[in-house]
A and B are shown apart, each in its own frame.
Chain A
């Protein structure tokens, strides 16, 4: 930053360089993970550190707290209120951690010790920095903190163990802990990535409130441009360990100077761009054959045993149809039953009642051999490409596994088909003899897609296929899916929590909540003028990558949120 010494800067990072020692040879140092990064966080402002995975944003944050592993070499300067932190003694760093700098982690579930009550853990954080405070005061302070982060019943939360609370409640408790010693800086490392959008909106609102009422400086680390647009005042865009662009949030979004920032913003699927010419072209290409690829009628799916207690009902009474060559987007928050329904379509879960028909075969009534035949016409793409491909098989074998199972193709024929499939998903043919771990996340997802289309399926089930990927990679994978669909004409059940992604791909949308489909309709209609209040809240809560539009959405969300009595973050 070239602003020089700003009066209000509480945390100044300059020329920060982090290098991790390579395992193999001690002599050659790996290229630095973070190289010459400089920025300043000012009092009462939110600085967002944005970048894709591997950009060094988390390493930067951890180096501020001196929490990097021993194999990291850190140089440069990190000054907190004028005092140097790099090379500071352990006692000083301990006072800073939790005292002057509070930290919020990505996974609230794993950031708390499961064995202790929430209240005890927050009290411990207070006592760590003020050991002589009397017990009663500590307790009062704990409850006050829990109340200040918007938790309804602080007494109950303080008594609860981490597993007894929801993700949103835990993240609020985490924030209570982070602000327990009135820190001047709050480091929030992907604070809402593990949370649902409606919960995320609440947490972001809370952080915004902290900034306003306490004047806390917030260093926000995120990959989500929507979150940046919602919360940040200043933005630092990182790529491969270096800062590519720095500036106020409006400038970054409205007039990005660096090409990478522009690419990053362009890759974010937006809810705003609705009827693009691209979509029309795609619809023309899709065969307008209105025969059904799949249909579900009044499906009820439950886990656990029948009878006594009845188990947990995950899906109750879902009905919709997917025409051939069309995409049906299934949207919902975690626990809404959308993945369960997807698995039922693949015949992996039994129905308790109702029916699912795929390619004219009723799954519930089909014999084992009919079922195997049916699976020829199904393709399945999972969320996490790292775990959906057997790590011990070569890509060529993984891609042609369906051929081995359902056809008598020789190994030469299979290899030829594997090469074709890799071409179809735009992977170089050399990947045929690679192991999955040798490929990047996006490449692995392409392999998974190639495997799913190996037998020209009637129905492709894609369960959150891009949520483990960076936005720029996600954009290309979505492009690929649309392209393959127009070529091969399969129907697609596209399951996602991300409304913008669904809008980019789906013709029809079903919104699920707590096992029920609350709204079904054409994508354009449901995602622009929803009828069900839940859909409306879901849409309002999803942040868009545009600060101006986002502040309007926020107003709307706050208004809707006030109406709904069920809101409990």
Chain B
């Protein structure tokens, strides 16, 4: 073997750059990504360490404090009873600690939001990648099914479903299951489109020419190339899932009392908005912040993963 060609300049290899580290570097330079990921981390930590956090002031979201209310059921003191013991004040009529309700509510929201998202992404990816890659009659049937799911009056159906399920079914996991089962068509369309395009790419054809079985091509060649899209879509649909849970609870068919939920608290607080506005502001701000943070983070992630959207 000759070595004459080995010294040519096109054989020099550039230094190693790992994709993940580059991605983190890009995100770290994007102020929106830093702010939104910080917000997400704070909320997740608050939800995980809810017991310890509320333990500082010795409160929980269930104990009534009638002594903090006046004769009309309004909290006494400034801003709905904000003070050293009750950082966000207390709930009108019951006197429960609003900080504890918001923190435990984060637990409910994030649990339902994330598990519903995981379920949706799982179904959507499997359906999308198989229908896009295999095509044919399977794709035609599945795609019509997806069309039906899109046209389905999901909210009405969910309200009706929630009204009839037995009381002894644990609500949060059931809600996660139901929202997740209705959330996947969008993802499956996106993944299917990508799989359709990838199917024609040469490396997939090459793999087929080398004798790879279909499942191996799907898992080894197609899936890794859809990965970035799936990650971005995931971070963008989480807020939608959280909002869906909040909407159901707001309408009174979601998480049942006394389990804290932002949606239900917001629903209750609407009645008190003139006399105790802070009762609405804290859970509302929490819901607003976490959905905004996830949306912004998803956008930043997409920009960082896609070299074509270099803005600076």
The answer to whether A and B assemble together is: yes
Which residues of A sit under 8 angstroms from B221, Cβ to Cβ?
390
Asked whether, in the complex, the Cβ of B224 is within 8 Å of the Cβ of A405, the reply is no
- Which residue of A371, A390, A431 contacts B211 across the interface (Cβ within 8 Å)? A371
Interface residues of A in 433-453 (CB under 8 A from B): 433-435, 438-440, 442-443, 448, 451
Q: Which chain A residues lie closer than 8 Å to B6 at the CB level?
A: 426, 428
Known: A390-B224, A393-B224. A406 touches B10 (CB 8 A): no
Can you name the residue of chain B whose Cβ is closest to the Cβ of A402?
B210
Q: Is A357 among interface residues, defined by CB-CB distance under 8 A?
A: no
| A-B contact number at CB 8 A | 96
Pick from A91-99, A372-380, A488-496 the stretch touching chain B.
Answer: A372-380
A434 adjacent to B212 (CB under 8 Å): no
Most A CB contacts (10 A, CB to CB) among B6, B10, B17, B225 go to B10
Given A372-B211, A392-B227; A433-B202 close (CB under 8 Å): no
Cβ-based interface call for A347 (8 A): yes
Q: Evaluate whether A435 and B11 lie within 8 angstroms (CB atoms) in the complex, with A382-B202, A389-B203, A476-B5 already known.
A: no
- The verdict on A438 contacting B17 (CB below 8 Å), with A348-B209, A390-B225, A476-B5 known, is yes
Q: Is A291 an interface residue when CB atoms closer than 8 A count as contact?
A: no
With a cutoff of 8 Å between Cβ atoms, the chain B residues found around residue A473 in the complex are 10
Nearest Cβ distance between residue B60 and chain A, in whole angstroms?
Answer: 48
Interface residues of A in 465-517 (CB under 8 A from B): 473, 476, 479-480, 483
A-contact bits for B179-207, CB 8 A (1 contact / 0 none) = 00000000000000000000001110111
| CB-CB under 8 A for A380 and B17, given A390-B203, A392-B224, A405-B216 | no
* Distance A169 CA – B158 CA, assembled complex (angstroms): 59
Chain B residue numbers with a CB within 8 Å of A348 are 205, 208-209
Q: Given the complex of chains A and B, what is the CA–CA distance between A406 and B14 in angstroms?
A: 32
Give the residues from 272 to 312 in chain B that come closer than 8 angstroms, CB to CB, to chain A.
Answer: 310, 312
Per-position contact with B for A361-404: 1 when CB-CB < 8 Å, else 0?
00000000001101110101011100111111100000001100
Q: Evaluate contact between B209 and A405: CB separation under 8 angstroms.
A: no
CB closest chain-A residue, reference B224: A392
Selected A-B contacts with CB under 8 Å, 22 pairs: A23-B310, A343-B205, A346-B209, A348-B209, A371-B211, A372-B211, A375-B209, A388-B205, A388-B206, A389-B206, A390-B203, A390-B225, A393-B224, A401-B210, A401-B212, A406-B211, A430-B13, A438-B14, A443-B13, A448-B206, A480-B5, A483-B1
Of the four ranges (under 10, 10 to 19, 20 to 34, 35 or more), the interface on chain B belongs to 20 to 34
- Max chain A C-beta neighbours (<10 A), residue from B11, B203, B212: B203
B8: CB under 8 A from chain A? yes
A348 to B209, CA, bound (A): 7
Is B16 part of the contact surface with A, judged by Cβ < 8 Å?
yes
A424 interface contact, C-beta 8 A = yes
* Contact call B207/A401, Cβ cutoff below 8 A: yes
Digit string of B217-240 for contact with A (CB within 8 Å is 1, else 0)?
A: 000110011010000000000000
The answer to whether B11 touches A443, judged by C-beta atoms less than 8 angstroms apart, is yes
Name which residue of chain B comes closest to A463, CB basis: B202
Interface residues of A in 319-352 (CB under 8 A from B): 343, 346-348
Residue of B nearest to A423 (CB): B1
Alpha-carbon gap, A140 to B188, bound state (A)? 53
Q: Which has the most chain A C-beta neighbours within 10 Å: B14, B211, B212? A: B211
A380 touches B1 (CB 8 A): no
* Alpha-carbon distance between A164 and B288 when the two chains are bound, in angstroms: 53
Residue of A391, A393, A427 touching B11 (CB-CB under 8 A) = A427
Q: With A23-B312, A391-B225 in contact, do A378 and B209 touch (Cβ < 8 Å)? A: yes
Whether A347 touches B209, Cβ cut-off 8 Å, given contacts A388-B203, A390-B225, A426-B5, is: yes
In the bound complex, how far is the Cα of B227 from the Cα of A448, in angstroms? 24
Residues of A with C-beta under 8 A to B211: 371-372, 374-376, 402, 405-406
Q: Chain A contacts of B14 at CB under 8 A?
A: 438
B151 contacts across to A, CB distance below 8 A: none
CB distance from A346 to the nearest CB of B (A): 4
- In the complex, the chain B residue whose C-beta lies closest to that of A484 is B1
Residue of A nearest to B223 (CB): A392
Closest 10 CB pairs of A and B: A375-B211, A388-B202, A392-B224, A346-B209, A390-B203, A387-B202, A380-B209, A372-B211, A382-B202, A442-B10
Cα-based distance from A375 to B207 in the complex (angstroms): 10
Give the distance in Å from the alpha carbon of A448 to the alpha carbon of B3 in the complex. Answer: 20
- Roughly how many angstroms separate A467 CA and B227 CA in the complex, as a whole number? 31
Cα distance A401–B201 when bound, in Å? 17
Q: Given the interface contacts A392-B227, A426-B5, A434-B13, does A405 sit within 8 Å of B210 by beta carbon?
A: yes
Interface residues of A in 208-226 (CB under 8 A from B): none
Residues from 12 to 35 in A contacting B, C-beta threshold 8 Å: 23
> Is B19 part of the contact surface with A, judged by Cβ < 8 Å?
yes
Using Cβ atoms and an 8 Å threshold, which residues of chain A touch B225? 390-392
Say how far A473's CB is from chain B's closest CB, in angstroms.
6
Closest to B8 in A: A476
Contacts of A423 in B (CB 8 A): 1
Q: Which one, B8, B13, B210, contacts A375 given CB within 8 A?
A: B210
Please report the C-alpha to C-alpha distance between residue A426 and residue B5 in the assembled complex, in whole angstroms: 7
Bound CA–CA A451/B202 (angstroms)? 14
A376-B211, A391-B203, A428-B13 known; 14 new pairs, CB 8 Å cut-off, are A347-B209, A348-B205, A383-B202, A388-B205, A405-B210, A405-B211, A405-B212, A428-B6, A428-B11, A434-B13, A435-B19, A439-B13, A476-B8, A483-B1
Rounded to whole angstroms, the CA-CA distance of A452 and B64 in the bound complex is 74
Closest chain B CB from A444 CB (angstroms): 11
- Docked complex Cα distance between A483 and B6 (Å): 14
Residue of B nearest to A398 (CB): B203
Instruction: Check A387 against B16 for contact (C-beta < 8 Å).
Output: no
Residue of A nearest to B3 (CB): A426
* Whole-angstrom CA separation of A493 from B254 in the bound complex: 66
Bound CA–CA A393/B224 (angstroms):
9
Q: How far is the CB of A525 from chain B (nearest CB, A)?
A: 31
CB distance from A398 to the nearest CB of B (A): 8
In the complex, the answer to whether A384 meets B202 with C-beta atoms within 8 Å is yes
Give the interface centre of B11, B16, B220 by most chain A CB atoms within 10 Å.
B11
Residues from chain A with Cβ under 8 Å of B210 in the complex: 375, 378, 380, 401-402, 405-406, 451
Contact B16 A433 (CB under 8 A): yes
B138-184: which have CB < 8 Å to A? none
